[in-house]
Structure formats: structure tokens, C-alpha cells
Amino acid sequence: MSKLDKKQAILDTALTLFVSQGFYATSTASIAKQAGVATGTLFHHFPSKDELMNHLFLNIKQEFADAILASIKDSGDLKKDAKHLWTSAIQWAMDNPLKQEFFQQYSMSPSISTEIREQAMNSILGFMGALMQKGQALGLLANYPLTLMQDNSHGQFLAATRFFLDNPEKWQDPQHQEASFLLFWNAMVQS
């Protein structure tokens, strides 16, 4: 096993165990053991358990952001673009259930330092913010305060991914998929 393999094995194992047992219930010794390395090795790659957690969090956030960024389109039809974005985001969650679960569990937990958490939130909500401002400028979306709309959308996204993660077969159902998007979109529409 090469160096990179060991570091990656530690990260992979940590993700699995943090999600299934929780951060505090997972000992560094158990991560090392299940990753097939010595306890000391974990601390060669990460200065502390907290740093391992933050590293993991930033890694996953970046993966998600990259996936979303790659799926952004500008077709001229804002609603269509928004639907594409919404669907891509949930699809990523369905494709990466462990990572999404990790996000759900730790994006609001004190196990992750505040600055890291906020940094992650901003970068993701940034996409949505830009889209919303565009919609407002076009008169498609209501002129609600932007930060309120952003937080609301984030809450809807967390609820939607939790729902579909718990009921994966429903994500295959076009009615559910469509309803999920409309709940998100109509909330903001100029009525």
C-alpha cells in the first residue's frame, strides 16, 4: 500500500465510521485498525482527530461543489436551469449517500469548527444566491430578502435529500421528482 493509499484509506474509513457511529463514538484507534494502518500513522497524516474531521468535511464539500458547478447551465430559461440545478444536486446526494449523510449529520454539529462550516455553506449557497437574484431581476421571483430565501432553499434541500435518501425508490418516480422541484420553485415565485 502506498502513502497516498494509506491516507485515503484513513479518510474513507473515517467517513464510514463517523456516519455510522458518530464522531465521538469513533475512536482514532478503530479508524486506524479498520483502515489497516497503525494508530501512529493516522497522526502522521493528520495532526489531530479534529483536523481529520475538518479535512474530510472540506474534501466532501469540494466534491459536491465541483459536481454542482459542472452541471450549471445558462439556457435562457431560468426555471429550466433551476430545475436542472436542483435535480443535479439531489442526484449527487443519491449517488453519494454516505457523503450526503455525513453532510446532514455534521453541517450543523459542533464537531466541526464554525469557520469551516460557514465557509462551506457560503460556497454552496452562492450558486443559489446568484440564481435567485437573476430571477428577481427578471420579475420571476418575489422580492423577499435574499438571505431569507437562501436559508429557506437550503432547508428545503436538506429536507428533500433526507426524504429521498430514506425512500430511494421515490426518486425514480417522476411525480415525486417534479413535486420536489415545484415545492422549491413555487415557494419563491412572484405570486
| Phi-psi map region of 36: left, alpha, beta (phi>0 left; psi -120 to 50 alpha) | left
Residue 7 is inside which H or E element, if any? helix 3-21
- 81 burial (CB, 10 Å; 0-12 / 13-18 / 19+) is middle
For residue 56, which amino acid is it?
L
Which does residue 175 bind out of its own copies, DNA, none, counting CB within 5 to 8 angstroms by kind? Answer: its own copies
Interaction between residue 104 and DNA (CB under 7 A): no
Q: Which is nearer to its own copies, 85 or 141 (CB)?
A: 141
Interaction between residue 21 and DNA (CB under 7 A): no
Residue 101: all three cell numbers together:
449523510
Residue selected from 12, 63, 104, 140 as contacting its own copies according to rule CB under 8 A: 104
Which does residue 16 bind out of its own copies, DNA, none, counting CB within 5 to 8 angstroms by kind? Answer: none
Contact call for residues 41 and 32 (beta carbons, < 8 A): yes
Interaction between residue 109 and DNA (CB under 7 A): no
Nearest-approach distance from CB 137 to its own copies, in angstroms: 17
Half-sphere exposure at residue 28, Cβ-oriented, CA atoms within 13 angstroms: 16
Contact call for residues 41 and 24 (beta carbons, < 8 A): no
What's the residue count for the chain? 191
Q: How many residues bind DNA (CB under 7 A)?
A: 23
Only one of the segments 41-49, 74-82, 113-121, 140-148 lies at the binding site for DNA (rule: CB under 7 A); that segment is 41-49
Interaction between residue 110 and DNA (CB under 7 A): no
Short-list 31, 59, 60, CA closest to 43? 31
- 19 burial (CB, 10 Å; 0-12 / 13-18 / 19+) is buried
Only one of the segments 33-41, 56-64, 82-90, 145-153 lies at the binding site for DNA (rule: CB under 7 A); that segment is 33-41
Residue selected from 24, 68, 82, 100 as contacting its own copies according to rule CB under 8 A: 24
Interaction between residue 110 and its own copies (CB under 8 A): yes
Site residues, its own copies (CB under 8 A): 21-25, 104-105, 108-111, 142, 144-145, 147-149, 151-152, 154-160, 162-163, 167, 170, 175-176, 179-180, 182-184, 186-189, 191
